[in-house]
Structure 1
Amino acid sequence: MNKKIHPKNYRSVVFKDINNENIFICRSTVKTKESIKINGLVYPLYKMEISSFSHPFFTGEKRFSGKTGPAEKFNKKYEKYKKNL
């Protein structure tokens, strides 16, 4: 292995999913501004918008944004013309 190629700030970091407040600890070099205390130890904290705890692929949940698709928009737009036929 090549020497002196690995980062020096490799440490344990807490990753927190902000959607459901789940956390996990993993070694990383990610830069953080916050910290969190867990079991008496202080860890750097990195907040994520999505992780395997909240991603629909991993959870099996189907989420709809409430927007209608193109077929529904078309039917709504031309519904008034159906009444005239």
Structure 2
Amino acid sequence: MQQDKQPDYRPVVFRDRSAGYAFLTRSTATSEQSIEWDDGNTYPVIDVEISSESHPYFTGKARSVDPEGRIARFERRYGEGD
């Protein structure tokens, strides 16, 4: 493997501004911005639009589809089968 062709794999903070949530992980992503983390070190920060803290599926605020309403609409439209 050629060392000079691999991107740097380093600690990066991903921040979800809508949920006020940030987490530190390792990544090859780059950023011009930086943030001071809880441990006193400064890391590059990448703002994301959605994370597990704000995603409707993970927060339990997902829309539930009403399958009974779909069936009723189908039966109204095409009549009940014999």
Unaligned 5+ residue runs, structure 2? 64-82
Q: Give the AA of the match of 2:26.
A: R
Alignment of 1:14-33 (within 5 A): 14-33=13-32
Off by >6 Å, runs of 4+ in structure 1: none
After superposition, residues 1-80 of structure 1 pair within 5 angstroms as 3-4=1-2, 7-38=6-37, 39-62=39-62
The one-letter code of the counterpart of 1:30 is: A
Query: Counterpart in 1 of 2:70?
Result: none
Amino acid of the residue matched to residue 33 of structure 2? E
What SS does structure 1 have at the residue aligned with 2:58?
helix
Identity of aligned residues (%): 43
TM-score normalised by the chain length of structure 2 = 0.66
How many equivalent pairs are there? 61
Contact 1:7–1:29 (Cα < 8 Å) also in 2 = no
Counterpart CA distance in 2 for 1:8 and 1:51 is 24
TM-score of the superposition, structure 1-length normalised? Answer: 0.64
- Corresponding residue SS for 1:61: coil
> What CA RMSD, in Å, does the superposition of the two structures yield over aligned residues?
1.8
Alignment partners' CA distance in 2, 1:25 and 1:31: 14
